[in-house]
Amino acid sequence: MDTIISIKAYGQHSEEAVNAAADRLKELEERFSVTDENSDIGILNKLGTSSVSDDTAYVVSEALNVCESTDGALDITIYPVLREWGFTAGNMHVPTDEAVRSALEKTGYENIIISGNSITLPEGYMLDLGSCAKGYAGDEMLAVMSELGATSALVNLGGNVQALGSKPDGSEWSVGIANPFSPNELLGVLQIHDKSVITSGGYQRYFTDDSGNVYIHILDPRTGYPADSGLVSVTVIGDRGIMCDALSTALFVMGKERAVGYWREKGGFDMVLVTGDGTVYITENIAGSFRNSSGFPVEIIDE
């Protein structure tokens, strides 16, 4: 998963639960890793067609639903473009316009064929589940711990926080959201239980060229270039980590106005948006659970 991971569990067999959750995470990483040629995704990207595990088929299917509902703001076929930017191998650089255009020709989620556990990609296409794999992994880890008797648990996958129940004393979990302008400080704190809190931001992975221009890792699938939507951070709060993870990326690409429109139309989740001018926008359902520690102005998004 290429990040620091924390797993906490309370209740009967809590140590067993934590170990089982870690094993489940390892299992899923071996299936989803885009850089492991022996993973489900590695084999699929190499061969173009493959029969995959139930986990992979489910995640691809759910991700495609988000690709469709967001009109391509999320596109799990963006990997060829990410490679051109060097975000996948750590050799980050600005590609030529021609290289970006050529890579974009090998993208388009609507061209993926999935039937049961069989997935087929057009020639040159490659999948990357990085936009939703951690969210699904968190869902599965909590499910494993619950089955083994944990009544309270918290999983943190590199800032993707997912909670089972409340704290052992019955109080809510306090989940910090990073300040995108100063990531070592907090934007604010949310009080939650039985929720996932997943953030996408340009501050998480980026590089700067010799002229001082900053390039973030979240690409706009329409252009093949880093998303320039006016947002610097998007946090999605909901019941299912896989959906929160996928939507945080898609809404970041959309920008504030489209993100708000999507929320009003679809519902089923809450969000905290931070714009480049330092304004925080938060949906009304969770406004009372958010404590602002940044000093930035906060505006409530209503239905």
pLDDT tens for residues 126-158? 999 999 999 999 999 999 999 999 999 999 998
pLDDT beyond 80 at 1: no
pLDDT at 88: 83
Q: How far, in Å, CA of 82 to CA of 177, rounded?
A: 26
Tell me how far CA of residue 198 lies from CA of 32, 67, 122, 129, 201, in angstroms.
19, 18, 31, 15, 10
Of 186, 284, 194, whose CA–CA distance to 241 is shortest? 194
Q: Tens digit of pLDDT for each residue in 192-209? A: 999 999 999 988 889 999
Q: Alpha helices, DSSP H only, in 166-293?
A: 241-254, 256-266
Average pLDDT rounded to a whole number, residues 225-234? 97
What pTM, to 2 d.p., does this model score? 0.96
Q: How many CB atoms lie within 10 A of CB 226?
A: 20
Average pLDDT, the chain: 96
Q: What is the mean pLDDT of residues 225-229?
A: 97
pLDDT at 52 over 90: yes
**Surface-to-core class of residue 267, CB atoms within 10 Å of its CB (0-12 exposed, 13-18 middle, 19+ buried):** exposed
Average confidence (pLDDT) over 85-94:
89
Amino acid (1-letter code) at residue 61: S
Report the DSSP beta bridge partners of residue 208. 214
pLDDT at 265: 97
pLDDT of residue 11: 87
Intervals of CATH 3.10.520.10 along the chain: 5-120, 172-301
User: Using an 8 Å Cβ cutoff, are 227 and 116 in contact?
Assistant: no
Query: Does 5-120 carry CATH code 1.10.3720.10?
Result: no
**CATH classification (class only), 172-301:** alpha beta
pLDDT-derived band at 97 (thresholds 50, 70, 90) equals very high
- Write out the H or E segment, with its range, that includes residue 40: helix 40-47
pLDDT tens-digit profile of 71-89?
999 999 999 999 999 998 7
